[in-house]
């Protein structure tokens, strides 16, 4: 391979290299930029010739970064992000769009009720949502602003609390304690945990069991029994009177709902101001 040149290679080559490294292949990078795979391969080949180093190993099943490619990728990513951020800070207008990813149930319960408040503050900002089916999918989601459930510790991500998770016995109007229980399977504490805290050793029988808090709250709203419901996710139904809290103890947890983003993505003052306004709307 020819010896490296002095100065900087063309920005277009660096952007294509970053996409191929981040997405794990030339085809994915081609889709991101609307190019052919051959055009991506040519740009990366030009970059390698410029640097005098191989950045990818080409194999029949695909490509992978070389050791030098792995070392170069975070440097290129940081430089491109800094250039984008500083250009926006100096010359850019206020952001015109906010895109957020979350579980579908979190978009329904947390984002939709806050949109009117947010649009009063930011009437010219278009909100876009991307729903994911599983929490694990958020790690693979390209939308960088996300709502996550947990304890606020995700490597490489900043996180600001929207609401603590609090579980309370919830039911439709006219449904009282003694009605069948609605179970929610998963990592949240359940009825047995609540019974210890509430000193209620004798629990009613369970009639149904769901793996989704959203489904459990819907079942409670339909009068099917009493759910140990999430106050943040049930807030809209509680305020509208479709659900009511029974006069029984709450169960506080160590988890919560967080607005999160990669550490390097909210350095611009304008971008962070937009996130702060969205966060205030989420908090109600």
Q: Which long-range contacts link 233-236 to residues 24+ away (Cβ below 8 Å)?
A: 233/105, 233/106, 233/109, 233/110, 234/109, 234/170, 235/109, 235/113, 235/284, 236/109, 236/113
Report all structural domains of the chain as residue ranges with CATH numbers, in order of start: 11-91 (1.10.10.10), 99-284 (3.40.190.290)
> The pTM is what?
0.68
pLDDT digits (tens, 9 = 90+) for 15-62: 999 999 999 999 999 998 999 999 999 999 999 999 999 999 998 888
| pLDDT at residue 141 in the model | 85
| pLDDT at residue 260 in the model | 96
pLDDT digits (tens, 9 = 90+) for 100-158: 999 999 999 999 999 999 999 999 999 999 999 887 788 888 899 999 999 999 998 99
CA distances from 35 to 14, 15, 27, 73, 91 (A): 15, 13, 9, 21, 28
């Amino acid at each position: 391979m020819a010896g490296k040149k002095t100065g900087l290679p063309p920005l277009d080559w660096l952007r294509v290299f970053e996409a191929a490294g981040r997405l794990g292949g030339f085809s994915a990078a081609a889709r991101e930029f609307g190019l052919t795979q051959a055009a991506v391969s040519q740009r990366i080949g030009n970059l390698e010739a410029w640097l005098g180093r191989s950045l990818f190993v080409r194999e029949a099943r695909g490509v992978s970064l070389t050791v030098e490619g792995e070392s170069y990728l975070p440097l290129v990513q940081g430089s491109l992000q800094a250039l984008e951020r500083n250009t926006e800070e100096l010359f850019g207008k206020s952001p015109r769009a906010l895109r957020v990813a979350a579980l579908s149930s979190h978009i329904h319960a947390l984002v939709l009720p806050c949109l009117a408040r947010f649009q009063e503050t930011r009437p010219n900002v278009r909100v876009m949502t991307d729903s994911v089916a599983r929490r694990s999918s958020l790690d693979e989601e390209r939308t960088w602003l996300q709502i996550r459930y947990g304890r606020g510790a995700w490597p490489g991500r900043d996180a600001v609390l929207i609401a603590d998770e609090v579980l309370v016995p919830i039911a439709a109007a006219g449904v009282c304690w003694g009605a069948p229980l609605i179970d929610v399977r998963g990592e949240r504490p359940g009825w047995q945990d609540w019974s210890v805290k509430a000193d209620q050793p004798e629990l009613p029988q369970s009639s149904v069991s769901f793996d989704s808090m959203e489904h459990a709250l819907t079942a409670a709203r339909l009068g099917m029994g009493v759910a140990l419901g999430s106050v943040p996710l049930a807030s809209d139904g509680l305020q509208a009177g479709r659900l009511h809290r029974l006069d029984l103890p709450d169960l506080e947890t160590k988890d919560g709902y967080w607005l999160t983003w990669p550490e390097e993505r909210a350095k611009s003052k304008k971008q962070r101001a937009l996130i702060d306004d969205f966060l205030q709307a989420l908090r109600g």
